[in-house]
Structure 1
């Protein structure tokens, strides 16, 4: 029976995928490498059920195929250190922004629950915009 993955397991598997150095990346290889990390042999289906893992998998697949953006080569170590510092600062800002979005989503989720709004109602697509109809009303 497949083991249910918790947040730590998912994070460990995502980091495993990001650090993958072999030329070929497959679900079965990830399952084998992830087994010691999570304590049990996970199935492809249990890995594929988590968006963070599938996103990391697809990004790494693209990088291995050469579709990933090229790594810029700085002219000097000072330029590289400056770039790293800027990227780390941006990462901190984006993590804080993501934390705020998650907090806002939790509030919205609670308020929707209190009002009796179902998930299917929240996931309804936006209405189509009829541009021709809008133009005729202005005349």
Structure 2
């Protein structure tokens, strides 16, 4: 029986993977992440597919590092469920901010590389900053 291929990772599916990583607790492996995404989407992606997407690979590595540091110093859990839920939400937001800051840094580095390479090819900053052309509008003249 032929195995069906999972659909391409769209921006929405990538966001789902990143959100899953942001709220991840406990041991993290590629297989565990793949299983979690399969449960959420019904599709099985490979480790290599996830690793092809820099955002996912970086977020995975960052979360692994964060989890390694987290397990050493955690104290007891608060008894109040609302406080516990708020603390979990704070942790998710902190993880997301950390991931987005890292992603922003990588994009800035990519921009510097592009700017340098463009300059080597004689493309000026003014040329790069030129506004995009207006899209053609499908307007009929004189038709009512």
TM-score by length of 1: 0.47
More relative contact order in 1 or in 2 (CA 8 Å, sep 6+)? 2
TM-score by length of 2: 0.45
